Amino acid sequence: MISSHLPILLVVVPLIAAPVMVILRSGTAAWILAIAVSWTALAIAGVLFAQVAGGGTISYFLGSWPAPWGIEYRVDRVNAYLALLVGVIAAAVSIYSPRSILSEVEPGRRYLFYTMYALCLSGLLGIAVTGDAFNLFVFLEISSLSSYVLIALGRDRRALVAAYQYLVMGTIGATFYVIGVGMLYLATGTLNLSDMAERLPRVTEPRAVLAALAFITVGVSLKLALFPLHLWLPNAYAYAPSAVTAFLAATATKVSVYVLLRYYYSVFGGGAVFLALPMAEILLVFSLAAMFIASTVAIFQDDVKRMFAYSSVAQIGYITLGVALASATGLTAGLVHVFNHALTKGALFLLLGGIALRAGAMRLGSLGGIGRVMPLTCFGIVVGGLSLIGIPATVGFVSKWYLVQAALERGSLSIAFAVVASSLLALVYVWRFVEVAYFREPDAKVAALREAPVSMLVPAWALVAACVYFGIDTDLTLGGAAAAAEQLLLGAK
Amino acid sequence: MTPEGLILGAIAVPLGGAALIAAAHRMPDLREGVTLVAAAALFLLVASLAPEVLAGGRPGVHVAEVMPGIALAFRVEPLGMLFALVASGLWIVNSLYSIGYMRGNNEQHQTRYYVCFAAALASTMGIAFAGNLFTLFLFYEALTLVTYPLVTHHGTEEARRAGRLYLALLVGSSIVFLLIAIVWTWQVAGTIDFVRGGILSGKVSNTTMGILLALYVFGIGKAAVMPVHRWLPAAMVAPVPVSALLHAVAVVKAGAFAVVKVVVYVFGVETISGMTSVDWLPFVAGFTIIAASIVALRSDNLKRRLAYSTVSQLSYIVLAAALLTPLSIIGAALHIATHALGKITLFFAAGAIYTAAHKTEVSQLAGIGRRMPWTMGAFAIGSLSMIGLPPAAGFVSKWYILSGAMATGQWGAVAVLVAGTLLSAGYLLPIVYRAFFLSPAASHGHHEEHGEAPLTMVIAVSVSALGTVALFFFPEALLALSRQLAGVG
């Protein structure tokens, strides 16, 4: 039965596609394959999501080797939700990519772009479904290495430096992670995450476990760009090819958030992390710092892509804030914002790719009046921006509502005010773009531009529409997040 | 049509109108025809809801459940009915006026203007018919955003700055204070529906009640209670019809409406009557009335004077709601309507003066009443209504507010109302006097060669002045709605 192999197919299909693309050596063929692979992944993720929606868990044993010896893939409501998100973004980016990389990647290298894209997709989905700590490390490396290459493909020469920076930081993160896993292995004698969770309470040497928790937290936080470990992110997002920025911004950091949640709740059991240790307070401080400092820095950026990159650091702060509030509502808020922010930032970076294609430059100063020549692109950016601010009838509002509710449940009016006050900073940086795009007269160079091509507008606007649709009908996003939060808290008991 | 259809139609018609206006952007006549038809259709839809509401019905529609327990839902109650009637009725008059103004002044981007105007009306209807705080908040934010392009219509540096202030204060106050207040209400009450008698009874302490009320009053920046009022004078940079319908009727009344609605349907008049923590509200409102009137008195720019007059008059509504007596609640609801008619007349007149004579300052208006008798006659009627003198509608609402204050012996409020009346006479009557009884300065020469404004504008200003008088003589329908709101009808 093929349907029983879905968890592994989710990972293997893009993984096998990568070498096939290299063999074909054709950009177009690789693109068609990339579309097929992405949509297949979306379909599989959708089926898995539906299968576990009732609360069940799918265990898949690689090569039929039972758990302690073989690798287990374990799909529950948490990672099915995440895999679905990755699938949605991959599906949109795959359609979008060819026109976008036309001016950004040399023709001879295009098949390599798709190869790396497929590898990265495979790695991210692998992180999501695997139930094995070391296997997770392998997929983390697959996705990271391929994303270094993807970033380095950027047209700007600074992309090389950005990729190198990311490589250094990412390698440190991965090393920390694997050190943490090693310590857990020494303490528990297993690499299977659920076995680990079972054995951890019986470990008599808590210091090793604590050290492992610290290493894993820092290592994964580097990957998810938790402030102040975010330094790699703005350059990487700003100089990578547009399609890559959109793909990574919407998926890579989100998958890392999932890893952190998986360890905190399913492995360490939640209580150990949040009650016995001041983890919640630490995370809270860094989240608030991210929300305010990164948003403020975003206001002073001149490059639009960098501006939204800093905005991402701030928005990741909202996600980790939800995690730090450590309640059902807080976790739901964090998880729903994983989805909502992925949709919003995915849409924004896809639209910015249209501007990059037509105008080349991304400096605010050279985009004056662009709202008149690229109306659809710019209006989409405004809608995405409203979602970042958290205007009702966008997905950003749903996240904000739950964050404020979680803060008030905790009795903390000050955190609630911090959440809403920081969203005003988003209003400022979004409106900097609005004023440039609509209030200045286009100069000769801008006036000569045309609207972005349809093949880019359609996937971008599909995500924009999703930003609005899921702001009104939240059954899927909020329902999925609430179910995932419930599942995580089950592990905490 | 079913009441459900009428409610949804009241939002769909202006939205559909906006789409058609955009489609007709190459044909100005058709475009403006669509605006008028949409306005008339909207008023008919709203008016046909009225009989059922007057008979005690509360029709509603549940559109979608956005978050568990939090729905996009509409429910028509007397106050919303009254607000919707006023806003949709005046949209017809304002459209007529807009056509004359926008053509007479050769304004740019007229299609965008009419599209945003229609969208603003759709948002206003959403606010008026909102069945819960979430729906109110959604359309409240939408109204700010769709009026932003209208405020910044001229695209100048000044307009851009005004737009910034407009957004910063309105979006800022609503996100920071109002949203927190709504989530907090949801937290303690378990519901955010508008319910007669309020939803907070017995659920929060005296102190919390005071804090929540402050979050609401200052979060609803559109009510322009000081110090959240600065956006209103800044927004005067917009074309005059925008100031007239939006910043004298739809937007500011959405604010005053929301405050009254929150006091009556979230807090409940009974519930907060005994609470000491809400006693600050009459003082803040009273201070706004007096302070804004003094600023108005000192402003030479006509639109600025009218803007500060609006700030002051809005706080009459807030003060009336804060008095917490049935009579003053009736007065608050009536004042939404009467101030709307009076102030739109004044703005129409200001715009007519600008279009015909290109004058913006009060000091330039000597003798203008002789050249523009219709306009300035209407201005005089509007002034009477602002002051609260018969035979203008303002008298009726002020009468109820004052009676409420006197009946409950709140003499501080009585003093504020009297002082406010004198001050409004002080900043409006000299304009009328100057226009009719002073001679124009001789030096202007050929600048004085003007007559009345374009015909559609004169018609509009006359109609709204007539309405102001008519409402004095026939306030029954609105009075019946207001009495239902106050629970005495």
Note whether A474 contacts B155, CB cutoff 8 Å.
no
pLDDT at A391 over 70: yes
Q: How far is CA B320 from CA B212, B264, B426, in A?
A: 19, 12, 22
Residue A463 covered by a domain: yes
Confidence of residue A176 (pLDDT cuts 50, 70, 90): very high
Cβ contact, residue pair A404, B160, below 8 Å: no
The reply to whether residue A393 touches residue B183, judged by beta carbons under 8 angstroms, is no
Low-confidence winner among A341-345, A428-432, A438-442, B50-54 (lowest mean pLDDT):
A438-442
CB contact under 8 A, A401 and B183: yes
pLDDT value at residue A443: 86
> Searching chain B, which residue's CA lies closest to the CA of residue A469?
B66
Determine the average pLDDT of the residues in A422-444. 90
Handedness of CA B208, B80, B171, A461 (dihedral sign): positive
Q: What is the 3-state secondary structure (H, E, C) of chain B?
A: CCHHHHHHHHHHHHHHHHHHHHHCCCCHHHHHHHHHHHHHHHHHHHHHHHHHHHCCCCCEEEEEEEECCEEEEEECCHHHHHHHHHHHHHHHHHHHHHHHHHHHCCCCCHHHHHHHHHHHHHHHHHHHHECEHHHHHHHHHHHHHHHHHHHCCCCCHHHHHHHHHHHHHHHHHHHHHHHHHHHHHHHHHCCCECCCCCCCCCCCCHHHHHHHHHHHHHHCHHHCCCCCCCHHHHHHHCCHHHHHHHHHHHHHHHHHHHHHHHHHHHHCHHHHHCCHHHCHHHHHHHHHHHHHHHHHHHCCEHHHHHHHHHHHHHHHHHHHHHHCCHHHHHHHHHHHHHHHHHHHHHHHHHHHHHHHHCCCEHHHCCCHHHHCHHHHHHHHHHHHHHHCCCCCCHHHHHHHHHHHHHHCCCHHHHHHHHHHHHHHHHHHHHHHHHHHHCCCCHHHHHHHCCCCCCHHHHHHHHHHHHHHHHHHHCCHHHHHHHHHHHCCC
CA distance linking residue B260 with residue B316, whole number of Å: 11
Report the gap between the CA of B155 and the closest CA in chain A (Å).
6
Q: Is residue A298 part of a domain?
A: yes
- The total domain count for chain A is 1
Q: Across the interface, which of A409, A424, A478 has its CB nearest the CB of B176?
A: A424
CB-CB under 8 Å, B179 with A420: yes
Interior/surface letters B348-372, b for 16+ CB within 10 angstroms, e for the rest: bbbbbbbbbbebeebebbbebbebb
CB contact under 8 A, B67 and A392: no
Contacts of B172 in chain A (CB under 8 A): 424, 427
Question: What pLDDT, in 10s, does the model give residues A73-110?
Answer: 888 888 899 999 999 999 999 999 888 888 888 888 88
Task: Assess contact for A268 and A181: CB atoms under 8 A.
Answer: no
Higher pLDDT, A27 or A303: A303
Distance set, CA A234 to CA A283, A368, A428 (Å): 21, 23, 19
CA distance A385 to chain B (A): 12
What is the pTM for the complete model shown? 0.93
What is the pLDDT, as a whole number, of residue A107? 83
Collect all residues of chain A within an 8 Å Cβ-Cβ radius of residue B66.
398, 471-474
Answer whether residue A236 is part of any domain: no
Is the pLDDT at A2 greater than 80, yes or no? Answer: no
Residue whose entry in the numeric block shows the structure tokens 């950016």 = A381
Per-residue burial over B207-246, b if 16 or more Cβ lie within 10 Å, else e, is eebbbbbbbbbbbbbbbbbbebbbbbbbbbbbbbbbbbbb
Residue type, A342: A
Whether residue A123 lies inside any domain: the answer is no
Q: Is B155 in Cβ contact with A424 (below 8 Å)?
A: no
- Helix-helix angle A304-325:A413-439, to 10 degrees: 160
- Out of B72, B175, B180, whose CB is closest to A390? B175
Interface test with A, best of B179, B182, B191, B208 (most A CBs within 10 A): B179
Confidence band, pLDDT 50/70/90 cuts, at residue A271: low
Q: How many residues does chain B have?
A: 489
Question: Which are the contacts of B164, defined by CB distance < 8 A and separation ≥ 6?
Answer: A431
Distance from CA of B71 to the nearest CA of A (A): 9
CA-based nearest distance A112→chain B, Å: 43
Q: How far is A429 from chain B (nearest CA, A)?
A: 12
> What pLDDT is stored for residue A198 in this prediction?
85
Question: Are the Cβ atoms of B141 and A391 closer than 8 angstroms?
Answer: yes
**What 3-state class would DSSP assign to A301?**
coil
A439: nearest CB among B66, B142, B155: B155
Q: Which domain holds residue A405?
A: 278-493
Q: What are the chain B neighbours of A390 within 8 Å (beta carbons)?
A: 175
- Confidence tier at A491 by pLDDT (50, 70, 90): low
Domain-embedded: residue A230: no
Nearest to A472 among B64, B152, B160 (CB): B64
Task: Find the chain B residues whose C-beta atoms sit closer than 8 A to any C-beta of A.
Answer: 64, 66-68, 70, 72, 134, 137-138, 141-142, 145, 152, 155, 160, 164, 167-168, 171-172, 175-176, 179-180, 183-184, 186-187
Q: Could you tell me which residues are beta bridge partners of residue A132?
A: A192
- Percentage of residues in chain A having pLDDT higher than 90: 54
Chain A residues with CB-CB distance to B176 below 8 A = 417, 420-421, 424
Model confidence pLDDT, tens digit, residues A8-50: 889 999 999 999 999 988 888 889 999 999 999 999 999 999 9
Residue A130, strand partner residues: A73
Rg (CA), chain B: 21
CB contact under 8 A, B72 and A390: no
* In chain B, where the domains are located: 279-489
Q: Which helix (H) or strand (E) holds A74?
A: strand A72-75
Assess if residue A312 is contained within a domain: yes
Is the torsion defined by CA of B454, B89, B125, B5 positive or negative? negative
* pLDDT attached to residue A26: 86
Contacts of B226-232 with CB under 8 Å at 24 or more apart are B226/B284, B226/B287, B226/B288, B226/B291, B226/B292, B226/B311, B226/B315, B228/B169, B228/B173, B229/B288, B229/B292, B229/B311, B230/B165, B230/B169, B231/B165, B231/B166, B231/B168, B231/B169, B231/B170, B232/B307, B232/B310, B232/B311
Residues with Cβ within 8 Å of residue B74, at least 6 apart in sequence: B7, B8, B60, B61, B63, B126, B129, B130, B131, B135
Nearest to A409 among B64, B172, B187 (CB): B187
Tokens encoding A184: 């857990």
Name the residue facing A472 among B72, B168, B172 (closest C-beta): B72
Buried b (16+ CB within 10 A) or exposed e, B303-328: bbbbbbbbbbbbbbbbbbbbbbbbbb
Percent pLDDT > 90 in chain B is 56
How many CB atoms lie under 10 A from the CB of residue B37? 14
Listed as ranges, residues in chain B with pLDDT below 70 are 441-449, 489
Residue A304 lies in a domain: yes
Of B67, B142, B164, the CB nearest to A398: B67
- What pLDDT, on the 0 to 100 scale, is given for residue B447? 55
Q: Does A134 reside within a domain?
A: no
CA pair distance B124, A208, nearest whole angstrom: 62
Contacts of A166 (CB under 8 A, 6+ apart): A147, A148, A151, A232, A235, A236
Q: Strands B60-67 and A72-75, how do they pair? A: unpaired
Three-state secondary structure readout of B380-443: HHHHHHHHCCCCCCHHHHHHHHHHHHHHCCCHHHHHHHHHHHHHHHHHHHHHHHHHHHCCCCHH
Distance CA(A483)–CA(A328), nearest Å, equals 10
pLDDT of residue A204: 77
CA distances from B91 to A466, B41, B51 (A): 33, 11, 21
Candidates A420, A471, A472; nearest CB to B175: A420
> For residue B167, which residues of chain A lie inside 8 Å, CB to CB?
427, 431
Q: How far is CA A226 from CA A284, A308, B27, B419, B444, in A?
A: 11, 16, 54, 58, 68
Find the Cα–Cα–Cα–Cα dihedral A61, A65, A67, A68, rounded to 10°.
-150
Q: Which pLDDT score is estimated for B398?
A: 92
Instruction: Name the minimum distance, in Å, from the CA of B172 to any CA of chain A.
Output: 6
Of the listed ranges A257-266, A289-298, B101-110, B247-256, the one predicted with least confidence: B101-110
Q: How confident is the model at residue A157 (pLDDT cuts 50, 70, 90)?
A: confident
- Residues of chain B with C-beta less than 8 angstroms from the C-beta of A434: none
Q: Do A439 and B167 touch (CB under 8 A)?
A: no
Nearest to B66 among A408, A439, A474 (CB): A474
